[in-house]
Amino acid sequence: MGIKIDKSLNPEIIWAMFKENALQFKESAKETDKRFKEMDKRFNETDKRFKETRELLDEKFLEVKVLFQNTDRKINKMIGHFDKQIGKLIEALTEQCTLKLFQGIGINITHSSLNPERNLYGKTMEFDTILLNKTELVIIEAKVTLTKQKVYQFAKKMEYFKTFFSEFKSYKVYSCLAYLTSKSDAEELANEKGYFLIKLKKDNYFEFNNSENFIPTIS
């Protein structure tokens, strides 16, 4: 059986069909290119909007950050002011309430000095309260919250006490920390260093808060 050839498909018709297909392909390519350009334009617009939105968010975030920083500073300032006022109250109560405490354990205090201060070599040293008689004294620092760092700071000051307060070189010197609350094993550290601990209790009075085996350090 022979192959049937469509005699109507002569070269002219085939060429015309080819030209028509080429034209359709060209038009289709133009349409595709047009769509790609539109998509690219939309993408660029979207990218621009995204960048604008991001810049706006960054700006707002910076405003919020500054607002929080300012608020945080105000809160810290208020807390600092509150701690300072509570500290002054503890200092005043310390001077009023601790004379009898130390007299009760055989340190016969006769008078006190509030916020004694000395200047030496351009530096200043100050303590909250000194209780004393003619031969011995107790140095008291008052803290709202007693921490290990504050115990170490107090210890550093005590190293230079007789340098700044040279009139007491022959005295027996005891160290004491008065406080409202404590953190981070501060009481244990103070006990190890031989510091008296007096804690503010209810009804605005102090009592000793040292361990049973406490031995005070005398310098």
Beta strand segments in the chain, E: 111-114, 117-120, 123-126, 129-132, 136-146, 172-182, 196-200, 206-208
Indicate whether 5 belongs to any domain.
Answer: no
Indicate whether 19 belongs to any domain.
Answer: no
Indicate whether 8 belongs to any domain.
Answer: no
Q: What is the pLDDT along the chain (219 residues), one digit of tens a residue?
A: 554 545 555 666 666 666 666 666 666 666 666 776 777 677 677 767 767 777 766 676 666 666 656 655 655 555 444 455 555 656 666 666 788 889 899 999 998 888 899 999 899 999 989 999 999 999 999 888 999 999 999 999 999 999 999 999 999 999 999 998 898 899 999 999 999 999 887 666 788 999 999 999 999
Indicate whether 153 belongs to any domain.
Answer: yes
CATH number, domain with residue 128: 3.40.1350.10
Indicate whether 156 belongs to any domain.
Answer: yes
Q: What does DSSP assign to residue 110?
A: -
Q: What does DSSP assign to residue 121?
A: T
Indicate whether 11 belongs to any domain.
Answer: no
- 90, 76 Cβ separation under 8 angstroms: no
Domain that holds residue 174: 97-208
For the chain, how many structural domains are there in total?
1
Q: Please tell me whether the overall predicted TM-score, pTM, comes out greater than 0.85 for this model.
A: no
